[in-house]
Amino acid sequence: MTAHPITSVVFDLGGVLVDCNPNYLYRKLIPDEKERQHFRAHVCTRQWHHSHDLGVSFVDNAQLLLKNYPNDPRMQSLIKAWGNRYGEMFSGPIDKTVDILTELHKAGMPLYALTNWSADDFPVARKRFPFFSLFKDIVVSGIERVTKPDRKIYEILLERTKIDPRSAVFIDDREDSLAPAAALGFTTLLFTTPEKLRNDLINLNLPLA
């Protein structure tokens, strides 16, 4: 139980409300698992993709890779697919978490989101997932050019929303993203399953059945 009643909820998006994984696309394009793992480890890497979350456009970021494969049409096609077929990286919403979000919204709980997401791709996701409209505000790393777990992006959230972190709960599926929020005074919850999240929020006296 927190010392302050919870009066607002901040959600991470990917991994909490939306199931998104590049392998959903690349399993189609590179059926061989070892080849696919090599591609993800050495070509379109996590570090390379992190630049998108920091605001680098896909076009600019792709050029860094494409120049390494000037005579390899297949590799060029695989790299370009990251941007051209981005929507195929989604399996869809995590329905039971969306149910929680919807119930909180119906109960009048102010809802916000803080996400590492590219500025290029976020409009695609917003169009695909209409429940994003339930948030009063969404802070997107690619627009702000700073990502979790950098403290600055949490401070941007607080400045924009004017919420009191002592009366807010922050939900994320990564522990390293929870630490800065806790340091700022948020109650933090590590997301593992929708069922556990529901129980955790009920224990904080939020209006859920």
For every residue of the chain, DSSP letters joined together read --SS---EEEE--BTTTEEE-HHHHHHHH--SHHHHHHHHHHTS-HHHHHHHHTT--HHHHHHHHHTT-TT-HHHHHHHHHHHHTGGGGEEEE-HHHHHHHHHHHHTT--EEEEE---TTTHHHHHHH-GGGGG-SEEEEHHHHT--TT-HHHHHHHHHHH---GGGEEEEES-HHHHHHHHHTT-EEEE-S-HHHHHHHHHHTT-S--
pLDDT tens track for 137-166: 999 999 999 999 999 999 999 999 999 999
Each residue of 18-77: pLDDT tens digit? 999 999 999 999 999 999 999 999 999 999 999 999 999 999 999 999 999 999 999 999
